Every structure is written in structure tokens, then in C-alpha cells.
Structure 1
């Protein structure tokens, strides 16, 4: 299998929004985002995406891994629990 079995990973720091706010993955390869919330803001305690079918709690100062579906090419938004802060996953 070699290169094709390797999971794509992006790290996003959650502090005054998402840093970086856009991550890119290759279509058809397993992918994960590792979120790390470093702000006590209650608005950023959750991250969700209807398009990518996840809704995840983000405990303060803990790394949380979310699997990303890369079967479809496109741009998919994710947001905080109040939809004030947004980010994007691009699958090419």
C-alpha cells in the first residue's frame, strides 16, 4: 500500500477563531483534523459541520481528532457552536 495508506493530517489551533481557517486534503485519502482549543471562550467549545457530518466538543487545552470524509471534491464549511467563527475544508 505504501503512500496510499497514510492519513493526511492538519492541525488547527482554536483561539479567536480557527488557525488556519482553511485546510486542504487530497480526494480519496483518509484525512483528519486535530483541533486544539486554547481559549476559554464558550463560543468555541464545539465545532460542527453539516456537510462533513461531525459535531464535536472541544475541551480546553486538549487535542481532539476529527475524521474527514474525502470521497467528494469540494469546499466544506465548519463552524463553532454559535456559527460565529467559520473554517473550511477543501478536498481536491
Structure 2
């Protein structure tokens, strides 16, 4: 009985870490187009560093057939786009001010962030 309880607590800790505490390393975008692959319940890369004031295009490639993966929402920019399976979808973003901007699926299960700085770091 004790082993089952310990396994349950370990599973709870893993779930908390995965959904609320884990933050992957940010990818620094060195060009104006960044490809984001939607697969296995994640955006890859999920954290993208951008230079403030430049136009950026995010090219989403959906490989995940889950209905949750079908839409990407940028609430800060009032952008909601449908992503077709195995077809790239380009989303052009205006020049952004410094800050952090999130993007997610419509149910907030797939999540990502744009980290925008003056120097791109």
C-alpha cells in the first residue's frame, strides 16, 4: 500500500513539474522566420527570443492530429489561426516592443512564449 502511495505522489510531482514548473531553454531567432513544430503535446521550440522592433514570421507545422493542436492563439495580438495537419502556416507578427508574449492552443494545453528584447538576449 505504501508503494502505491509513493508512486502516486511521484506521479503528482511529475505532473506539477511538467505543466507548471518546467521551462525549456529559449531559442534565439537569428532570422525573420522561425519554424515551430506542433507535435506530441508541445510547441518546439516553445520559447523563442526575438529582437524588438523587427518583423517576424512564425511558421507553424502541425504534426499532432489532436484537435487541441488545430488552433494557435496569440491573445496579446488578437490573433487566432487554424493549423492544418502537415501543412505549414505562416503567421506574420508586427514589430514587437520588449516584453514576453504568450501563445497557446485554444485550451491552453500547448503553450509557448516570445521573449522580445532590444538586444535579442
Q: Of the candidates 4, 9, 13, which is equivalent to residue 37 of structure 2?
A: 13
How far apart are 1:70 and its partner, in Å?
2.8
Post-superposition offset of 1:29: 1.1
Higher helix fraction: Structure 1 or Structure 2? 2
3-state SS, counterpart of residue 51 of structure 1: helix
The alignment's TM-score, normalised by the length of structure 2, stands at: 0.67
What 5-or-longer segments of structure 1 have no aligned partner?
1-6
TM-score (norm 1): 0.87
CA RMSD of aligned residues (A): 1.2
| Greater Rg by CA | 2
Number of residue equivalences:
86
Which 4+ residue blocks in structure 1 deviate beyond 6 angstroms?
none
CA distance in 2, matches of 1:58, 1:89: 19
Query: Can you give the 5+ residue segments of structure 2 that lack an aligned partner in the other structure?
Result: 1-30
Match status 1:29 vs 2:65: no
Equivalent pair of 1:70/1:91 in contact (CA under 8 Å): no
Higher strand share: 1
| Change over 3 Å in CA distance of 1:70–1:52 after alignment to 2 | same
